[in-house]
């Protein structure tokens, strides 16, 4: 079993997720069996309780685990499905160790960070590799070298390297090489310092990946090599590129794969990147632009909607287009609005398609309902996801069925028309962590519907994350007026897809199709959405 540990220095936000995914892709395309683990040094057990505005999107795996958005990157790049075991957090580690201590597993020992916490981390990393039968396990260490929280994880890296041997464990250190405005020179000191910090805890990096705006120049490369004990051929540039999918190609141009193979004592293979290159070519030279409104409340941090953006990008690329996202803060979308105080609704009519993503809580909900009304009445292609789907149902109930005050009991517990209501099994649930209806579930699609035509099958599996759903008592009424539920859960009691009969595309889904999009295999509901938006654009 081989390991590649990716650490980060200088600052956060270097794109270690993309770096790790890219290394993984290159090795996978060499026909090695690879898997990926993300280490998050925070105390939360999982990402499910974290605010997307602070931390970016919560990604949901097939097994229902709520994880860091980097796991979405791995799944998309490597076209694989991961389990919750592949996201190790400080919370999970401590919880497990404390449970073992309570059970008496440590036989009277004093339970300590070293060895108990570190051993737990090592076991988890090894298990992720073993359980998936992988040749190579890539581990992305969240956080930055030097953080107090990361210490036990870095100690685990040091120990794994000792235990498994140098030829089986590679440390790839990602750092920043900034350019000082006045002199315009690439500065290596931050890299030198972060490598020193790593070495202080006993880790010598094998490969250094330098993030920079422009390609790394020879002089700074030599300097880094000299001061960090890494040969020049193992120092690579990871400068800014147009789209993240170019990163594996950038690495390959520099022979990253053969250096990795050499250091890990693997026989040389070449990655097959034909399809990947095709995707990159298609998406970097689009024939047209498509304007999609994204109406949500976390528009201040684009990472909050990263999977939606990927899904739109993949779908557009398949159709020779590139999406231009027009962000609308749902709290500012108000009827009779003014561009200074709210958002002029006319701006919403000026786009080719409207997307309302998932969300929680009351803020901005009326703006979303108003958005769905505009989409429906003006015939603008509309895709509502999870909360967006619920919003479409509320809007339809209010304005077509004339059920005044119709709402979700999430936002108005006393509403006379709770067209969206709590899932029955949620009635007694109070804890917030990992308690929603989550993960992959079978969805049955009725034949003769738009959804059936889109998916080309009657049985699909999609990922979920919700507490509320369409209230069965209103189904007959809603369907009678033309909004039909074209897909349900296996037992038929959960509405999974809704479509406005006769519309070009006014569709909502309770699940999250954005979690299953792939560069060369866009999510079907997104693909049709973009297709219809393109039609509208072309007139
Ligand atoms: N808040 C809604 C619910 O819990 C929608 C959730 C979501 O959009 N992920 O059902």
pLDDT digits (tens, 9 = 90+) for 407-444: 999 999 999 999 999 987 777 777 777 778 899 999 99
Q: Which of 374, 371, 405, 363 is nearest to 391 (CA)?
A: 371
Please compute the mean of the pLDDT values over residues 76-103 and round it to a whole number. Answer: 96
In which region does residue 89 sit, left (phi positive, over 0), alpha (psi from -120 to 50) or beta (all else)? beta
- Residue 216: in which H helix or E strand, if any? none
Nearest CA to ligand 1 atom 5: 387
Which residue carries 């609704």 as its tokens? 345
Task: Report the pLDDT value the prediction gives residue 139, as an integer from 0 to 100.
Answer: 98
Ligand 1: residues whose CB is within 6 Å? 358-360, 386-387, 410, 465-468
Q: Which of 118, 123, 116, 117 is nearest to 137 (CA)?
A: 123
Ligand 1 atom nearest to CA at 388: 8
* Cα-to-centroid distance, 386 and ligand 1 (Å): 6
Nearest CA to ligand 1 atom 1: 360
* Cα-to-centroid distance, 375 and ligand 1 (Å): 21
Cβ neighbours of residue 12 closer than 8 Å, sequence gap 6 or more: 143, 144
Helices (H), 6-142: 16-28, 52-55, 70-78, 90-103, 118-131
CATH architecture group of domain 286-538: 3-Layer(aba) Sandwich (3.40)
453 pLDDT exceeds 60? yes
CB 366: neighbour CB atoms within 10 A? 18
336 pLDDT exceeds 90? no
Task: Report the pLDDT value the prediction gives residue 260, as an integer from 0 to 100.
Answer: 97
Task: Report the pLDDT value the prediction gives residue 339, as an integer from 0 to 100.
Answer: 47
Helix axis angle for 365-378 and 387-399, nearest 10°, is: 70
Please compute the mean of the pLDDT values over residues 13-30 and round it to a whole number. Answer: 95
Residue whose CB lies within 8 A of the most ligand 1 atoms, among 57, 304, 429, 468, for a mutation test: 468
Q: Which of 396, 331, 437 is nearest to 407 (CA)?
A: 396
Stated pTM of the model: 0.93
Q: Which two three-digit tokens encode residue 149?
A: 């929280």
340 pLDDT exceeds 60? no
Task: Report the pLDDT value the prediction gives residue 335, as an integer from 0 to 100.
Answer: 64
514 is catalytic: yes
- Residue 103: in which H helix or E strand, if any? helix 90-103
Ligand 1 atom nearest to CA at 361: 1
CATH architecture group of domain 2-278: 3-Layer(aba) Sandwich (3.40)
Task: Report the pLDDT value the prediction gives residue 425, as an integer from 0 to 100.
Answer: 77
452 is catalytic: no
Task: Report the pLDDT value the prediction gives residue 316, as an integer from 0 to 100.
Answer: 96
Mapping DSSP to helix (H, G, I), strand (E, B) and coil, where does residue 168 land? Answer: helix
How far apart CA 132 and CA 33 sit, in angstroms, is: 9
Residue whose CB lies within 8 A of the most ligand 1 atoms, among 307, 360, 513, for a mutation test: 360
Domain with CATH 3.40.50.880 in the chain: 286-538
Task: Report the pLDDT value the prediction gives residue 302, as an integer from 0 to 100.
Answer: 77
Percent of the chain with pLDDT over 70: 98
* Cα-to-centroid distance, 325 and ligand 1 (Å): 22
- Residue 461: in which H helix or E strand, if any? strand 459-466
Nearest CA to ligand 1 atom 9: 358
Pairing mode, if any, of strands 59-60 and 66-67? antiparallel
Domain with CATH 3.40.50.300 in the chain: 2-278
Q: Please provide residue 265's backbone torsions phi and psi, each rounded to the nearest 5 degrees.
A: 60, 40
Active-site entry in 75, 386, 417, 531: 386
Least confident of 123-137, 285-299, 464-478: 285-299
Residue whose CB lies within 8 A of the most ligand 1 atoms, among 59, 355, 359, for a mutation test: 359
CB 426: neighbour CB atoms within 10 A? 16
Each residue of 513-522: pLDDT tens digit? 999 999 999 9
């Amino acid at each position: 079993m081989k390991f590649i540990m990716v650490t980060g220095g200088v600052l956060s936000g270097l794109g270690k997720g993309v770096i790790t995914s890219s290394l993984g892709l290159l090795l996978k395309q060499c026909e090695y069996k690879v898997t990926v683990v993300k280490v998050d040094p925070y105390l939360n057990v999982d990402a499910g309780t974290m605010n997307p505005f602070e931390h970016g999107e919560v990604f949901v795996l097939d097994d229902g685990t709520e994880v860091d958005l980097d796991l979405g990157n791995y799944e998309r790049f490597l076209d694989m499905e991961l389990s919750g075991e592949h996201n190790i957090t400080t919370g999970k580690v401590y919880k497990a160790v404390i449970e073992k201590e309570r059970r008496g597993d440590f036989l009277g020992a004093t339970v300590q960070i070293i060895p108990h916490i570190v051993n737990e981390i090592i076991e988890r990393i090894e298990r992720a590799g073993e359980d998936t039968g992988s040749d190579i396990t890539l581990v992305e260490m969240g956080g930055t070298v030097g953080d107090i929280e990361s210490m036990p994880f870095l100690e685990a890296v040091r120990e794994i390297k000792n235990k498994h041997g140098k030829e089986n464990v590679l440390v790839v250190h990602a750092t920043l090489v900034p350019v000082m405005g006045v002199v315009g020179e690439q500065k290596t000191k931050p890299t030198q310092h972060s490598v020193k910090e790593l070495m202080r805890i006993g880790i010598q990096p094998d490969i250094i990946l330098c993030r920079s705006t422009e390609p790394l120049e020879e002089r700074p490369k030599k300097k880094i090599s000299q001061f960090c004990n890494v040969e020049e051929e193992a120092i690579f540039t990871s400068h800014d590129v147009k789209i993240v999918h170019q990163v594996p190609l950038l690495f390959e141009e520099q022979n990253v794969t053969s250096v990795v193979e050499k250091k890990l004592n693997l026989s040389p293979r070449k990655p097959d990147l034909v399809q990947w290159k095709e995707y990159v070519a298609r998406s970097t030279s689009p024939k047209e632009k498509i304007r999609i409104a994204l109406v949500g409340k976390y528009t201040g941090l684009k990472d909050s909607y990263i999977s939606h953006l990927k899904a739109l990008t993949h779908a557009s690329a398949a159709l020779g287009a590139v999406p231009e996202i027009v962000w609308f803060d749902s709290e500012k979308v108000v009827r009779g609005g003014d561009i200074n105080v709210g958002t002029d609704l006319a701006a919403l009519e000026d786009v080719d398609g409207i997307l309302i993503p998932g969300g929680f809580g009351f803020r901005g909900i009326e703006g979303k309902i108003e958005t769905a009304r505009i989409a429906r009445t003006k015939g603008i292609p509309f895709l509502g996801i999870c909360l967006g789907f619920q919003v479409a149902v509320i809007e339809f109930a209010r304005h077509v069925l004339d059920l005044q005050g119709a709402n979700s009991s999430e936002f108005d517990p006393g509403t006379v028309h709770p067209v969206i209501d709590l899932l029955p099994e949620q009635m007694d649930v109070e804890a917030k962590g990992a308690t929603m209806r989550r993960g992959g579930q079978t969805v049955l699609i009725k034949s003769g519907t738009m959804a059936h035509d889109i998916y080309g099958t009657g049985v699909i599996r999609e990922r979920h994350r919700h507490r509320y759903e369409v209230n069965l008592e209103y189904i007959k009424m809603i369907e009678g007026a033309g909004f039909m539920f074209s897909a349900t859960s296996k037992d038929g009691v959960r509405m999974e897809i809704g479509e406005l009969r006769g519309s070009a595309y006014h569709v909502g889904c309770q699940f999250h199709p954005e979690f299953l999009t792939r560069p060369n295999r866009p999510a079907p509901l997104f693909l049709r959405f973009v297709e219809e938006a393109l039609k509208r654009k072309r007139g």
